[in-house]
Amino acid sequence: MAESSVLVSSKLSVSYGGVKAVSDVDLHVDRGEIVGLIGPNGAGKTSFIDAVSGFAPMTGSITLNGHELRGERAHRRSRLGLSRTWQSVSLFEDLTVSENVKVGAGHTPLADRLRGRRQRVEIDPVLDRLGIAGLAGRLPGELSHGQRVLVGVARAIVASPALVLMDEPGAGLDDAEGAELGRQLRGLAADGISVLLVDHDMNLVLDVCDRIYVLDFGRQIAQGTPAEIAADPAVIKAYLGTTTDEEKAEA
């Protein structure tokens, strides 16, 4: 763990009634790092990011830039610099791409009216940064799934967060869309935004992550670089299985 750690969890646990979904997970994400959180279905990945973002009950500690988040409401966590994307990219279908992203900055026509003023918020640079400036005036129904995912990412970064939690952004993307998403995530990291990435798409995770943590039945079973994780016997047994074509041919 470095001085520059943005997110630090310590003995973070989540229980739903009798189900212990996450057990004593210690994890950290440094500034500008992309950190993967992987594991089989039901391993506790979504529960972990729900706890970090304030949507699941937790014990232990989670800090963002040194601020303890436990006990803080979700909107306060976002003010402190936390953002997230959701497993299903739900966009407002009657708003343009630009307007959808504006909502991520807390701007809706009603909110602006209640504040009694219209605040300027720069959407175009955010779209430009993700290579989707040309989609600004389109409706979500006109977009491919890959483009919708990038709009979801734009919405998550428009308020300049310190860290974005991403829940399966790679789901349903084809190879080209996955590669484009990976390229854009690396761009965010280069600009100093940290990412905690949950995904089952191992091409994406192994390609973009600086480090990876692996959960199984709520417990952390490994952590390391992508190369270390891909070669870890416990991870292969619990999750990756025989992954290469050569191994499959030998099996």
Ligand X SMILES: Nc1ncnc2c1ncn2[C@@H]1O[C@H](COP(=O)(O)OP(=O)(O)OP(=O)(O)O)[C@@H](O)[C@H]1O
Cβ–Cβ < 8 Å for 40, 216: yes
Subset of 15-34 contacting ligand X (CB under 6 A): 16, 19, 21
Give Dmax over CA atoms of the chain in angstroms.
Answer: 68
Q: Which is nearer to ligand X, 57 or 187 (CB)?
A: 57
Q: Does 39 bind ligand X (CB under 6 A)?
A: yes
Residues in the interface with ligand X (CB under 6 A) total 11
| In the complex, minimum distance from the CB of residue 124 to ligand X, in angstroms, rounded to a whole number | 34
Interface residue with ligand X, options 5, 9, 46, 147 (CB under 6 A): 46
Dist CA 53 CA 48 (whole Å): 9
Q: Which is nearer to ligand X, 15 or 65 (CB)?
A: 15
Near ligand X by CB under 6 A, which window of 1-9, 38-46, 98-106, 157-165? 38-46
Q: How many CB atoms lie within 10 A of CB 37?
A: 28
Interface residue with ligand X, options 44, 54, 81, 152 (CB under 6 A): 44
Dist CA 181 CA 169 (whole Å): 8
Distance of alpha carbon 64 from the chain centroid: 15
DSSP E strands in 43-121: the ranges are 59-64, 67-68, 82-85
Supply the angle between the helices 145-157 and 97-104 in degrees, to the nearest 10.
Answer: 40
Cβ–Cβ < 8 Å for 34, 7: no
| In the complex, minimum distance from the CB of residue 13 to ligand X, in angstroms, rounded to a whole number | 12
Pairing mode of beta strands 211-216, 219-224: antiparallel
Near ligand X by CB under 6 A, which window of 41-49, 64-72, 137-145, 171-179? 41-49
Task: Tell me the Cα Rg of the chain.
Answer: 19
Interface residue with ligand X, options 2, 3, 18, 41 (CB under 6 A): 41
Near ligand X by CB under 6 A, which window of 44-52, 102-110, 116-124, 169-177? 44-52
Near ligand X by CB under 6 A, which window of 43-51, 90-98, 106-114, 230-238? 43-51
Interface residue with ligand X, options 5, 7, 28, 45 (CB under 6 A): 45
| In the complex, minimum distance from the CB of residue 183 to ligand X, in angstroms, rounded to a whole number | 24
Q: Does 55 bind ligand X (CB under 6 A)?
A: no
Distance of alpha carbon 230 from the chain centroid: 21
Dist CA 110 CA 91 (whole Å): 18
Residues that bind ligand X (CB under 6 A): 16, 19, 21, 39, 41-47
